[in-house]
Amino acid sequence: MESLQGYTILFLVWLVSTMLVRAMLTKSRTMIRLPPSPFAFPVIGHLHLLGPIPHQSFQKISNTYGPLIYLSLGSIPSVVVSSPELAKLFLKTKETWFSNRPQLSVVDHISYPLADFTFAPYGPYWKFMKKLCMTQLLGGQTLNKLLPVRSEEIKRFLKLMSKRAESKEPIEIGKELTKLTNNIITGMIMRQRCSGNDDDDHSESEKIKELVKERNQLVGKFNLSDFFWFCKNWDFQGFEARGKGFHEKFDSMMEKIIQEREEARNVEKGRNDIVKDLLDILLDIAKDEDHKSHIKLGRDNIKAIILDIFVAGTGTAAITIEWALSELINHPNIMKKARKEIDSIVGKTRLVEESDIVDLPYIQAITKETLRLHPAGPLILRESTEDCTINGYYIPKKTRVYINSWAIGRDSKYWENPLEFNPKRFLSEDGSGNINHMDVRGQSFNLLPFGSGRRGCPGASLALLIIQTSIACMIQCFEWKGFNGKVDLEEGPGLTLARAHPLICFPVSRFIL
């Protein structure tokens, strides 16, 4: 009993001390003019205002307090940005102050802290890795060489849909699209397929798929260690242990894959008929003693890059295609117009190819409208590297910055009828039918599905190739019917913009594969 009383006294002393410190900090903040902020509770700050879908919660607060707000998320100072003008300030004009990402505690355990690219501090290593991605791994020349991988996987997917159409089976399309994108990415990285229809469920690529899923769950969950300084060294939720377990499994598996590839490369040396995948390119760079950069790729760097590409390139593309199909089922007139465009440009005797997309402005517009309403990453996350001032407001060093691209894409100040799915808004007004200038790669700050600036997504071009070609082929080959007619558009919880409920639909064949 005495021990319990002692703990109670210590807790009360800590609570009172915390409240006093917060009161002092609040007083000092009024003197330095932080952005507008709602009432905060001791210790938890504004965490009580956040629901299971953070971007929606942020929008509600911004509707009351404005497009730049200050929040204390536990012990983490944070600002939320909800207008294109301010987004441009943070992501372009003053970008040097906001080029870092916050370090999430679980990332240190699941990834390779000194080799990771996604969360690496802005500096020489990050610049080297970004250049490597943009010029060699995900550049136009490499994407062109690996086009057959993407084309073959889309054909396999369409043949599976055709079989389901013949049997009139309902399809949970999100699962099938995830298999499609997983197969594309594993094929481009290491010439393997994830299990889809007839593959071995115990293949290395299948294991990677399951590990990536586990990784996303760990990163996407609320972690006490990231929001309360006094929890920093405690693993209350078991994330540290799970993260270390994930890392051991992934590292062991990737080591096996790399060793097998190195043995195969020795056997294949001198052959010119083998198209190099991304793993080959990375191994070539690691082996190149004359590489211009002073940074040399090691095993951990290669593993970290592969993990980053898997994470960024699989689920997000599948989610976007699923949202596009959801909207098209709800808007059959738009589906009909898109199909008419495809039939007139491509015809009815061959499948749509990636090279056709440039001549299909309405398909491009559908993709843009989907990304406006349903960006797979609705929040762009940055961190300030120094004390600075934005629009007259003080932003302390180490402040977490959330750019709410989801809210920006739905703001009535910048979009006419913003909740309406209307691809025509992205077509030129002269009646020519050409796609207008608004870019989805981060140059137009009204539309930020891939972020912007230095830390914009280096895989945007690949993602657009997969998304647009898949959407066009699905429209060309099938009529799509919802399981219960109208499709609900409810969003699910988490940091990515997944649907709350699976999209169940029936394909009806119209193109003989």
Segment holding 388, helix H or strand E? strand 388-390
Whether 453 contacts 101, CB under 8 Å: no
Strand partners, 80: 69, 402
Classified as helix, coil or strand, 294 is: coil
What are the tokens at 436? 């207008």
Separation in Å, CA 484 to CA 94, 198, 224, 335:
49, 30, 40, 18
**What span, in angstroms and rounded, lies between the C-alpha atoms of 29 and 32?**
5
CB contact burial 41-61 (16+ within 10 A = b; e otherwise): eebebbbebbeebbbbbbbeb
Please check if 133 is assigned to a binding site. Answer: no
Q: Residue holding tokens 């799970």?
A: 242
The widest CA-to-CA distance across the chain, in whole angstroms, is 84
Classified as helix, coil or strand, 491 is: strand
What angle in degrees, to the nearest 10, is found between the helix axes of 361-373 and 315-330?
A: 110
Nearest 5°: the CA angle 160, 321, 172 is: 50
Strand partners, 479: 508
**What span, in angstroms and rounded, lies between the C-alpha atoms of 368 and 352?**
19
Helices in 146-238 by DSSP H: which ranges? 147-167, 173-190, 204-220, 224-227
**What span, in angstroms and rounded, lies between the C-alpha atoms of 48 and 94?**
31
Q: What is the DSSP letter of 425?
A: G
Separation in Å, CA 298 to CA 283, 286, 396:
9, 6, 36
Classified as helix, coil or strand, 275 is: coil
CB contact burial 81-119 (16+ within 10 A = b; e otherwise): bbbbebbbbbbeebbebbbbbbebbbbbbbbbeebbbbb
Annotated binding residues: 457
Annotated binding residues for heme: 457
